[in-house]
Structure 1
Amino acid sequence: CVFIFQVRIPSKTDKPGGSPIRQTPRENLLPAPTVLPTIHELDLFKCFQSVLIHLQMLWELMLLGEPVVVMAPSPTVSSEIVLALVSSISPLKFCCDFRPYFTIHDSEFREYTTRTQAPPNVVLGVTNPFFIKTFQTWPHIVRLGEIKMAGDLPKQVKVKKLSKLKTLDTKPGNTTHQSPDLSLETSFIGFQRKRPSEVQSAILRRHLLELTQSFIIPLERYMASLMPLQRSVTPWKTPPQIRPFSQEEFMSTLDHTGPQLTSMLKGDWMGLYRKFFRSPNFNGWYRQRNKEMTQKLESLHLEVICDADLLGWAKDKSEVEIVDLILKLREKLVRNKLFFLFLFFLQMETVATLPRSQSK
């Protein structure tokens, strides 16, 4: 009996929920392969089944990069819950620190347990009862019991306000100082009793993906509008700059392009965006998108340079103008490490060294 195991390392270019890799003709001759899930494909329903009614709040806390402590009965439960929380905002990258299993021996123990400053933007998974008292001043605390494998919907626990928190309270539940900006009914997700956990998890993952996409698509659309028009990119000038991100201008677009058009959730979307702008996740997202757009702009500039008639342009230009263009091309060549520009560089350098009568 032949078994084929395929393991694929996720790429940053992967799209969540995309189709699996197709088999080659040679693979079709063999038994159907067993595809092992990646390390990011946790059983979300198994992880969140005891806190489903808090799902919306937990998603918002991850989106905003809020300080969260997860108190679990074992390192396994602690690690799975923290990783599930971090992955709940996929495909948006979680840009804060997170520790699936934090102990008193970690180097940041003193920093994270001090009460002289606000808690950092980090998600901590802990099991030591010592942390029950140490972290009681943190703004968001999630207490969990043992994770069960059953696909049935469990009895849900209620949210407690910090003012009602007992110092040595160890019962499962969620403690927070704020209410979610959006409202969610678990019936919207499509859970049904006695459905296999794998199916429930797939439904939950799809719901979280759609929720994050509804939130991020207006930002992506606005960010794309900051890109200069392609016709404004010319070979003889420095590429135009990407327009700066204006929070107020973006907020003014939400009435016509906001997430309320694609999501059933109601609530203060604008308030959620304003909080998101102050979070490390927004800074990380904006830096990455700005970097990608800058590279795209640089690529467009290189394309128009390659398509341009540089020798024809140089015929009626002064030697100073030609040398200036050569220096700019050389700088671009070094910055982008592109060898094919070297050919254009040689042509232009030859023209610049010729007597003016020959160059014309």
Structure 2
Amino acid sequence: MCSCLLQKTNICYLSFPDSYSGGLGDTQFSFRLRQSGGQRNTHFGDDGEYNREAPLTLQRESAHYFGYVYFRQVKDSSMKRGYFQKSLVLVSRLPYVNLFQSLLQLIAPEYFDKLEPCLEAVCNEIDQWPPPVPGQTLNLPVMGIVIQVRIPSRVDKPGSSPLKQFNQENLLPAPLVLPSVHELDLFRCFQPVLIHIQMLWELMLLGEPIVVMAPSPTISSEMVLALTSCLTPLKYCCDYRPYFTIHDSEFKEYTTRTQAPPNVVVGVTNPFFIKTLQHWPHLLRLGELKMSGDLPKQVKVKKLTKLKTLDAKPGIYTSYKIFLHKDKTLIKRLLKGIQRKRPSEVQSALLRRHLLELTQSFIIPLEHYIASLMPLQRAITPWKNPPQIRPFRQEDFMKTLEHAGPQLTCVLKGDWLGLYRRFFKSPNFDGWYRQRHKEMTQKLEALHLEAICEANIVAWMKDKSEVEIVDLVLKLREKLIRARCHHLPVKEETLQRVGLYIETIIGSLPEDLQTVLHHH
């Protein structure tokens, strides 16, 4: 099957709930699918620029698509099956779940009534939208409404929500202001598992394979997205599938028992998966939310061996032992908040801040250690290649923890060392390290270019042979191209000075060589 057709088939299967019985009205959920074959993301010229300024967790993905679904199923005797069922799906490379689901809430009901012409008009409007620029507030007109949203930027302070309403006076009617392009109602998603938030954070940090078994695609996709957002500002580097069906082309890959399960969090609704994914180490089984008194009923942690039947009770089926102790104060605050009818967004903010502080406490010692591997600035000299970044040695890092470990910023006790050792084996460590190493390498190249600019090039050329001088011209040219292509953190005037240097050096050479170099 050609990869494009396969992609379409996958999207079709993912756009309908797996286990629906007639007349359930409207429902929304999300999925994520691997781009199959063909060209990888070549038609986004601004990818590099957007990704450099966007938070790592909101970068545009080149190998995956996100699907946002609005599904309607209502009784209709004029239809062959006895009911109308249709899905409107928005496919994007951006993980803007809140923006796109809000957009679908406006478009889909209209589309189900008026069908194609309405969609054409909407697509024309969306085509006129400005591109997402991190740090900017955008006004997005659609169907007589203006959606106003701010695109987060890498320089935002973690944990702040900087959206204020802008240019209110000249926007009539008043815009629909979205507090965030991507944030979910974390508290609502995590209600049945509040007392296990510590365990879920650890499982996500370590990139463990998890099955989320839920009664609907809405609950499955929200739980998977809530889990992957637990690690902010650290990027979750494993695969995740908010909603997954047996028709998916990766089905065989995930259900094979001949190898260890992949590092994926997969959200499913079909009970058949309990049987096929029994060899996975962690299964979170969710039911419809039940209350005990005025508090949400919390699921229990159970042994995997208890997972025998298709109607297994809600629970976390795992033999995982947590490294850190639970934060009882947080859980008490959240439960008290429920009793006091504290608004969901306030509860979510509490939860998000707790997870952010936990992740930062874990990551800050790693950031300090990796920064110490950077060569000293005085070791960067203009006419030698920049010195190398020293290698990351896990044991050296572990020694720093005694004086500069997470205990400085986090009250949680437990086996932090064990958690770090396990983290080093996970794709999340690998992804974090590669990203930091790349940023440091670019910083070194930028510092090297600045050192060249401050050097006295004429003095250097005095006793050099033509071969050495030509070699320098070629090297500087290559550096200039790299700086522009990779958008190195270098001032424009520095780049212009390097350009002038190249001209000066070429000008000092015999004419025949000048001609060759100008054409080179």
Q: Normalized against structure 1, the TM-score is what? A: 0.90
User: Hey, what's the Cα distance between the residues in 2 that align with 1:147 and 1:337?
Assistant: 53
**In 1: Cα distance, 2:345 partner to 2:375 partner:** 45
Distance 1:291 1:28 in 2: 45
Count how many residue pairs are aligned between Structure 1 and Structure 2: 353
Q: CA RMSD in A?
A: 2.6
CA distance in 1, matches of 2:169, 2:365: 42
Match of 1:124 in 2: 266
Per the alignment, residue 115 of structure 1 pairs with 257
Task: Give the whole-Å Cα distance in 2 for the aligned partners of 1:298 and 1:148.
Answer: 57
Task: Indicate if the aligned counterparts of 1:47 and 1:80 stay in contact, CA closer than 8 A.
Answer: yes
- Corresponding position of 2:492: none
Deviation, structure 1 residue 351:
1.9
1:10 aligns with 2:10: no
1:346 matched to 2:503: yes
Q: What aligned pairs does 1:1-360 form with structure 2 within 5 A after superposition?
A: 5-21=147-163, 27=168, 35-147=177-289, 153-188=295-330, 190-191=333-334, 192=336, 193-194=339-340, 195-337=342-484, 340=496, 341-353=498-510
C-alpha distance 155-19 of structure 1, shift in aligned 2 (>3 A)? closer
Gaps of 5+ in 1: 355-360
CA shift, 1:275, in A, is 0.7
Instruction: Work out which structure has the larger RCO, using CA pairs closer than 8 Å and 6 or more positions apart in sequence.
Output: 1
Contact 1:46 1:149 in 2 (8 A): no
Q: Deviations over 1:21-43 (max 9, x none)?
A: 5666x557879865303342111
| Pairwise CA distance, 1:10 | 3.4
Task: Quote how far apart the aligned CAs of 1:11 are.
Answer: 3.9
| Structure 2 CA distance for aligned equivalents of residues 306 and 73 of structure 1 | 63
Q: Give structure 2 stretches of 5+ with no counterpart.
A: 1-143, 486-494, 512-520
Contact 1:95 1:281 (C-alpha < 8 Å) held by counterparts? yes
1:230-258 deviation digits (Å, cap 9, x = unpaired): 11111111111111111111011000111
Aligned partner of 1:358 in structure 2 is: none
Distance 2:268 2:162 in 1: 35
Q: Answer yes or no: is the 8 Å Cα contact 1:45–1:201 preserved in 2.
A: yes
The answer (yes or no) to whether the contact 1:4–1:33 under 8 Å persists in 2 is yes
Distance 2:361 2:319 in 1: 26
> Is 2:289–2:297's contact at 8 Å kept on the other side of the alignment?
no
Instruction: Describe the superposition over 1:138-170 as per-residue Cα deviations: whole angstroms up to 9, x where unpaired.
Output: 1000011224899x6423221001233333343
Helix, strand or coil at the partner of 2:284 = strand
1:67-105 deviation line (CA, Å, top 9, x unaligned): 000000000000000000000011110111100000001
CA contact (8 A) 1:68 1:142 kept: yes
Q: SS of the residue aligned with 1:326?
A: helix
User: Retained in 2: the 8 A contact 1:52–1:186?
Assistant: no
Instruction: Go from structure 1 to structure 2 and tell me whether the alpha carbon gap of 1:40 and 1:144 turns closer, same or farther (over 3 Å shift).
Output: same
Mapped to 2, the partners of 1:183 and 1:331 lie a distance apart of 53
Identity of aligned residues (%): 70
- SS of equivalent residue, structure 2 residue 236: coil
Distance 1:267 1:282, change over 3 A: same
More strand by share: 2
Give the Cα–Cα distance (whole angstroms) in 1 for the partners of residues 343 and 412 of structure 2.
Answer: 26
Mapped contact 2:148–2:177 kept (Cα < 8 A): yes
TM-score by length of 2: 0.63
Confirm or deny: 8 A CA contact 1:77 1:147 kept in the other structure.
no
CA drift at 1:12: 4.6
Q: Distance in 2 between matches of 1:40 and 1:21?
A: 13
Whether contact under 8 Å (2:150, 2:163) holds in the other structure is no
